[in-house]
Copies of this chain bind each other. A is one copy, B any other.
Amino acid sequence: GQPLTVIAGLNVLETPELAIETARQLKAICGELGLPYVFKASFDKANRSSIKSYRGPGLDQGLEIFRRVKAEVDVPVATDIHEIAQAEPLAEVIDVLQIPAFLCRQTDLVVASARAIHRAGGWLHVKKGQFLAPWDCKNIVSKVQEAVDGADITILCERGNSFGYNNLVVDMLGIGEMKKLGVPVTIDATHAVQLPGADPRTGGESTGGRREGVAVIAKAAVVSGADGVFLEFHPDPDKALCDAPSCLPLAGAKDLLGTLKALHAVANR
């Protein structure tokens, strides 16, 4: 079988040095474990709860950092897209282009992203909306296929379903339902544990999380059939500029990824 793919890095780009160092460490760990690795970071947090939240360096500076990461660390990189006009410039640098969950039903954005990243030989990583049933992802997969002459470039990502107010739940049975659509499926364990709108540190102004739950969701999803994991780290999680409550310490990456590899092997033996 295929090894477990790891899409991991920073929630949002901060300094170039932080990106390079994080990519370097995660690449080394995944190399040791024999797991394919993609560096991930956002250049813009376009749907923060509050207008005052840190949003990232933006497209131009972001692309500059991604170029440096690729040049200095030699890894494929993943980032998310927010507007149609970003598709072409992103596809020049990015290997795995991500559609954010809230935007997974925006036809024009999905089509433009699919075409741009397909021309560049990359993949489209689509986060399943918190409002979307796993089987209804078939419409997304179809939209992409029609846009790129039937090429299989879609990876679907589970990141939790709305479960009442201010809570998400991951349905482990949904992973198998998404795989029935014939595409690889990843688990975004980092965002799946977030408690929308309920971070006690900021009086409810930004999105909270449950750091200790990230490993639980990653492990459970891997034994439920996930082909890859999506994880966000930081050398000092409490100082991460975005979504600190669900951010994992980089120092724990090796242990967690080793456990996930072992579970993946048992579940797929």
Binding site for B on A (CB under 8 A): 46-51, 55, 82-84, 102-103, 105-108, 111, 129-136, 139, 142-143, 146-147, 161-167, 169-173, 175-176, 193, 196-197, 204-205, 210, 212-213, 216-217, 219-225, 259, 262-263, 266-267, 269
Contact = CB atoms under 8 A, between A and B. Distances in A.
A51 B111 contact: yes
Given A133-B196, A196-B133, A212-B176, A107 B162 contact: no
Contact of A176 (B106, B132, B165, B216): B216
Contact of A82 (B102, B106, B219, B221): B106
Given A173-B217, A196-B131, A267-B259, A50 B142 contact: yes
A136 B262 contact: no
Contact of A130 (B48, B131, B267): B131
A51 B162 contact: no
Q: Which 10 A-B pairs have the closest CB atoms?
A: A164-B164, A133-B165, A220-B220, A136-B197, A162-B162, A47-B105, A219-B223, A130-B131, A172-B220, A51-B143
Contacts of A259: 266-267, 269
A46 B143 CA distance: 13
Given A136-B165, A162-B162, 19 more contacts: A47-B105, A47-B106, A47-B107, A50-B139, A50-B142, A51-B147, A102-B103, A102-B106, A130-B162, A131-B162, A136-B204, A172-B217, A173-B216, A219-B223, A220-B220, A259-B266, A259-B269, A262-B266, A263-B267
Contacts of A103: 102-103, 106
